[in-house]
Amino acid sequence: MTKPSLSRRSLLAGAATSAVGAGLSVAAGASAASKPPAARADARAGNYLTVADGTVIHYKDWGSGQPVVFSHGWPLQGDAWEDQMFFLASHGYRVIAHDRRGHGLSSQPWNGNDMDHYADDLAALINHLDLKNAVLVGHSTGGGEVAHYLGRHGSKRVAKAVLVGAVPPQMVKSPTNPNGLPIEVFDGIRKSVVDDRAQFFMDLSMPFYGFNRPNAKVSQGMRDTFWAQGMQCGIKNAYDCVKQFSETDFTADLKKIDIPVLVVHGSDDQIVPIDASGRASAKLLKKATLLVYEGAPHGLPATHKHRLNDDLLAFIKA
Question: Which residue type sits at 34?
Answer: S
Active site residue 269: yes
DSSP three-state, residue 36:
coil
166, HSE (Cβ side, Cα atoms, 13 Å): 35
Residue 137's DSSP bridge partners are 70, 162
Per annotation, catalytic residue among 106, 140, 205, 246? 140
Q: What is the 3-state secondary structure of 132-146? A: CCEEEEEECHHHHHH
As a whole number of angstroms, the distance between CA 263 and CA 200 comes to: 29
Active site residue 140: yes
Furthest CA-CA distance within the chain: 51
Per annotation, catalytic residue among 58, 98, 265, 298? 298
Per annotation, catalytic residue among 61, 99, 240, 269? 269
Q: In terms of Cα–Cα distance, which of 167, 170, 166, 160 is closest to 287?
A: 160
DSSP three-state, residue 308:
helix
* Residues shown for the chain: 318
Instruction: List active site positions.
Output: 140, 269, 298
